[in-house]
Amino acid sequence: MFKIMVKPIKPLTFNPIYSAQTKDKDYTLCDGEELYLRIRKLGSKTLIFEYKNVQCSRVVLIIGYYLQ
């Protein structure tokens, strides 16, 4: 039998969101499901919810901006 090693999922909490620094490119942090935090290179942080609808097309909902 084979063992499947699964990487543990870390939920997005206050500390990773607050301490996320800008980089030279945009990047995202994921909670392991459909919730993402997008960090732009200019410093803005946006909460995003992505899912697939009935027609299997990707839908992106912007929940809001994270204010510091």
In a domain, 47, yes or no: yes
In a domain, 5, yes or no: no
DSSP symbol at 32: S
Please give the helix or strand (H or E) that residue 29 lies within, else none: strand 27-30
Q: Tally the domains of the chain.
A: 1
CATH code for the domain of 48: 3.30.160.390
Q: Output the pLDDT for position 41.
A: 93
Q: pTM for the whole thing?
A: 0.75
Across the chain, which has 68 residues, the per-10-residue mean pLDDT values are 72 87 92 89 92 90 88
Q: Report long-range pairs for 40-45 (Cβ below 8 Å, ≥24 apart).
A: 45/17, 45/20
In a domain, 4, yes or no: no
Q: Output the pLDDT for position 1.
A: 65
